Structure 1
Amino acid sequence: MRAAQARKTDPEVAAADMRAAGLEPLEPYVTSTNPWRCRCTTCGNEVAPTLMKIRTGGGCRFCASHGFDLIAPARVYVMQHHQHNAVKIGIGGTAGRNERVNHHRRSGWVLARDWHFATGVEAHAIEQAVLQHLREAGHGPHLNRETMPNGWTETFHADLVTATMLATLVETNIADLAGTVQPVPGRTILRPERWSVRSGTAASRRRPPANKAGRDQLPLF
């Protein structure tokens, strides 16, 4: 209770901090660690950073000049770490500074499967839909910040959520979200005809039909 109270900020002060970063709040403030839906006053896109991230120098992900590029080609990936008995979903670019898969490989992670998208917006939409499903099903992070400084919140216990289950969720959400994500009013971002997929063992294999596993398998976890 004390920790939650410590994260509280006067709503007017919180909104002022967001506006100072060029973000107009679209919903009431909760706490500094809760994602807060805002509209970027520079590019017009909707984003949901936490107040804590904004106060440490963060801003609109679309306007950022560093980190994950929402405009460039990107991919959703599923990885496994056998020593930690963990699985992870994540997003990253396909080359250069945004290549997160190779970064995780150096820490012992093994690529199980990945899906390539025309832009980071598409990859981000799929990742967030999968994470929301898992959290609503009661699955919290398996690893902590000390074990994995970058990306620990997207890790899950492999005995409870397998790599196959993650892949099924990705495929299902690709089918569900195709043509529906609109970060800018009137502009459809998801373009399934430009998607491709590669697995960790067969990089050139084409993606099988989306949603092959079927929605009826999702209650497995």
Structure 2
Amino acid sequence: MRVRTGGGCRYCASHGFDLTAPARVYVVQHHQHNAVKVGIGGTAGRNERVAQHRRSGWVLVQDWHFATGVEAHAVEQAVLQQLREAGHGPYLSRDIMPNGWTETFDADLVTPTALATIVKASIADLAGTVKPVPNRTILRPDRWSVRTGPSTVGRRTPARKAGRGQLPLF
């Protein structure tokens, strides 16, 4: 349907989140709003969401890097599903958080540490299950890197390269 309407498919679109490029799942916290957020974004360029959130007062708690957005998206969706099933709805409104408000939670109910633990558990649960091409498993958590908070400022993983801390698509 997206191709028919001129938008392109989610794998080849030249705008938005690139499912074929390196990506990360992140947990951020906003102290003034008493909120936490799980999200996905690219590691450089147009999808560098953590830098966008940082400008709005969010602080990086932890992030996990993947070779492709397919993997990051699968983890994010598993985390959101688990939180929704536990009864946690969006915490911030669209007025306060215009982009990504549905992935925000009350930090009193879902602490940053608890959210990071849910992400880690989802990564372990999904290990070996995401197969964008038949018979080609791409989730291998033993090859993923984990970085925490302020010590990551200024460090970047090279875009479009499957290197240390990322896993190759094939």
What TM-score, normalized by structure 2, do the two folds share? 0.83
Measured in 2, the distance between the counterparts of 1:101 and 1:94 equals 9
Q: Offset at 1:105?
A: 0.5
1:195 aligns with 2:168: no
Contact 1:75 1:120 in 2 (8 A): yes
Residue in 1 that maps onto 2:46: 97
**Higher relative contact order at CA 8 Å, sep ≥6: structure 1 or structure 2?**
2
Structure (1 or 2) with the larger CA radius of gyration? 1
Q: Aligned-pair RMSD on alpha carbons?
A: 2.0
Residue in 1 that maps onto 2:37: 88
1:131 match: secondary structure: helix
2:151 match: secondary structure: coil
1:147 aligns with 2:99: no
Residue in 1 that maps onto 2:161: none
What TM-score, normalized by structure 1, do the two folds share? 0.65
1:111 aligns with 2:60: yes
Q: Which amino acid aligns with 2:59?
A: V
Q: Percent identity?
A: 78
1:105 match: secondary structure: helix
Measured in 1, the distance between the counterparts of 2:107 and 2:141 equals 29
Contact 1:118 1:194 in 2 (8 A): no
Distance 1:123 1:82, change over 3 A: same
1:124 aligns with 2:73: yes
Unaligned runs of 5+ in 1: 1-17, 24-54, 208-221
Contact 1:73 1:93 in 2 (8 A): yes
Q: Which amino acid aligns with 1:120?
A: G
Q: Offset at 1:75?
A: 0.7
Contact 1:113 1:198 in 2 (8 A): yes
Aligned residues, how many? 154
2:105 to 156, 172, 193: 156
Which shifted more, 181-190 or 146-155?
181-190
Q: Offset at 1:118?
A: 1.2
Unaligned runs of 5+ in 2: 156-164, 166-170
Which segments of structure 1 move beyond 2 Å, counting only runs of 4 or more? Answer: 57-60, 183-187, 191-194, 201-204
